[in-house]
Amino acid sequence: MSTVLYANVTPYETRVAVREDGVLVEVLLERTRERSIVGSLYKGRISRVLPGMQAAFVDIGLDRDAFLYVDDVVEALEEEDVEPGEVAAVPIQDLLREGQEVVVQVTRELGSSKGPRATSHVTFPGRYLVLLPDSSHIGVARRITDQAERDRLRDLLAEIAPGGGVIVRTAGEGRERADFLSDYAVLESMWRHVQKRSEEVHAPCLLHRDLDLSLRATRDLTGPQLSELWVDDTDAYQRIVEFLDRVQPELTRRVKLYRRPVDLFEAFGIAAELEQALQPKVFLRSGGSLVINQTEALVAIDVNTGRYVGSSDLEETVFAINLEAAREVARQLRLRNLGGIIVVDFIDMEVEAHREALLEELQRALGRDRARTLVGPVGPFGLVQLTRKRTERSLERALTQACPTCDGLGRIKSAETVALEVRRAILRDAAEREATEFAVRAHPEVVRLLSGELRGILDELRDRHGLIVRLFEVPEFHPARFDVSS
């Protein structure tokens, strides 16, 4: 697999796009005014303990308090002398009290209506290792599947960190002792700095912020598979080269400075693909399509046959579309950064072997995803339920806002609906004010309808109720807005 990264860096935002084998699979965005706080460490103060939810709110100095579950507390509070296996038995009120100061790390940003999710289990990601300061666990990334390599890495970690508290990242596969020693020393130094700062400041206070997006992407997304990393900012280019020179010098020659005046994303065709990623409909090469709807509760994805007719065998036709759809679903989840509960409505298949093959194809396609996913079986109606770990806002939430025309509904009242509301408003006002003449100001489409196809409304108001109505077009009105005056 060949990977190409594109980093578009401006004073106002940083955008990073990822292509694998020429296909756009991921877009990361960070605005200067809204820089992500995921991974940041805070010294916070417990503002409220909720025994009924086994959780607590932590004031970390933001507009909304962070949410801390009991499972994310126990191991880190060593003075409570609680074993990990006893988590469920320890009530939150026995661990935390209002006013208590704790060090927490933000793990999820849940949007404007909710505060962030936090944990007391601090993690420091490096190039090859993740440091777990309050743990004795030694682990190896699941994507490293070779058992001999996993055993070798565990033995190396046991020597480097006898007390544990480290995990080898996927990028650590095949690396040598010196690479891990260097990474471990940097992470240990960072943690000591956080501890020292925590002792010197009072809550709420920011203790540590993760790298900016350009360096995070360089740390997390580069490896032997990287063929090119394009950067369009001189300072960012220099920082990326210096970073790679320390951790993986063989990759520095693959970093390229983009100097043309045309926007980087425009020049490489990413801008058009990004625009398409905001549309609910995705067309498949076969002629089928996906329709993606993101809601508060879940993400619903519908698979349609479209114009694809396939062979004379309907079951084989449906199977072929579903297989293509499974691969595209996995790509869209990454590209749009969709998380939480996801339900995919595949086209129903009768053959059990086809259902099993579809599930295998979906799981294989999801194997490239950095986010953790869990996939359920194909249901009797062709539905597949899965979950994908949510950490940051989806692409749609990051790039868009609620429509002021439809108030976020995605639809607006039809002109006929508004015309009938006008009729009811006139009758109501006539009864309340005892008026007989009215002026209606409305959107041109509503006025045209009342003057044409629904002219009968005005005739009825005149002949049956004795009311005279004059219509006035107001082009700047919202399509559903109207004013009735007498």
Q: What is the pLDDT of residue 88?
A: 47
Alpha-carbon span 336 to 175, nearest angstrom: 32
Q: What is the pLDDT of residue 182?
A: 87
pTM of the model: 0.80
Q: What is the pLDDT of residue 90?
A: 80
CATH 2.60.40.10, applies to 415-485 = no
Q: What is the pLDDT of residue 467?
A: 95
Please, which residues have CB within 8 angstroms of residue 233's CB and are 6 or more apart in sequence? Answer: 7, 9, 10
Cα 326 to Cα 329, 366, 396: the distances in Å are 5, 9, 21
Closest CA to 209 of 10, 76, 38, 63: 38
- Name the DSSP class of 116: P
Structure tokens at 253: 């020659």
Q: Looking at the chain, which residues constitute the CATH 2.40.50.140 domain(s)?
A: 41-208
Q: Looking at the chain, which residues constitute the CATH 3.30.420.60 domain(s)?
A: 3-35+210-272
Q: Looking at the chain, which residues constitute the CATH 3.40.1260.20 domain(s)?
A: 415-485
Q: What is the pLDDT of residue 110?
A: 63
Handedness of CA 401, 404, 406, 407 (dihedral sign): positive
Per-residue pLDDT of the chain (486 residues; tens, 9 = 90+): 799 999 999 998 999 999 999 999 999 999 887 788 888 999 999 999 999 888 999 999 988 999 999 888 865 444 333 344 444 468 888 889 999 999 999 998 766 567 899 999 999 999 899 999 888 888 998 888 899 999 999 999 999 988 889 999 988 888 889 889 988 998 999 899 999 999 999 999 999 998 899 999 999 898 889 999 999 999 999 999 999 998 888 999 999 999 999 999 999 999 999 999 999 999 999 888 999 999 888 999 999 987 665 556 788 888 999 999 999 999 999 999 999 999 999 998 888 899 999 999 999 999 889 888 999 988 777 799 999 988 788 999 888 888 877 777 788 899 999 999 999 999 999 988 888 999 999 999 999 999 999 999 999 999 999 999 999 999 999 899 999 998
Q: What is the pLDDT of residue 233?
A: 95
Alpha-carbon span 239 to 36, nearest angstrom: 20
Fold of 41-208: OB fold (Dihydrolipoamide Acetyltransferase, E2P) (2.40.50)
Domain 3-35+210-272: give its CATH architecture.
2-Layer Sandwich (3.30)
Q: What is the pLDDT of residue 77?
A: 42
